[in-house]
Structure 1
Amino acid sequence: MAEVGTLTRADIADRIHSEVGLSRADSAGMVERVLAHMCEALAKGENVKISGFGTFVLRDKGERVGRNPKTGVEVPIAPRRVLTFRASTMLRDRIARAG
Structure 2
Amino acid sequence: MNKQDLIDAVAASTGDTKAATGAAIDAILEVVTRAVTRGDTVQLIGFGSFSTGARAARVGRNPSTGAEMQIAAAKTVRFTAGKAFKDAVNAS
Q: Which band: TM-score by shorter chain?
A: 0.7 to 0.9
Q: Helix, strand or coil for the counterpart of 2:36? A: helix
The alpha-carbon deviation at position 72 of structure 1 amounts to: 3.6
**Offset, 1:16:** 2.4
Q: CA deviation at 1:67?
A: 2.6
TM-score using structure 1 length: 0.79
- Distance in 1 between residues matched to 2:43 and 2:69, nearest whole Å: 35
Q: In the alignment, is the contact (CA less than 8 A) between 2:39 and 2:51 conserved in 1?
A: no
1:40-79 matched pairs, under 5 angstroms: 40-79=34-73
The residue type paired with residue 79 of structure 2 is: F
Aligned partners of 1:39 and 1:16: how far apart in 2? 20
1:21 equivalent in structure 2: 15
Structure 2 regions of 5+ residues with no counterpart? Answer: none
Residue of structure 1 aligned with 2:84, choices 86, 90, 94: 90
Separation (CA, whole Å) in 2 of partners of 1:94 and 1:21: 24
**TM-score, structure 2 as length reference:** 0.84
Q: Does 1:11 align with 2:10?
A: no
User: How many matched pairs?
Assistant: 92
Contact residue 41 and residue 51 of structure 2 kept, 8 A: yes
How far is 1:32 from its partner? 0.8
Shift of 1:59: 0.8
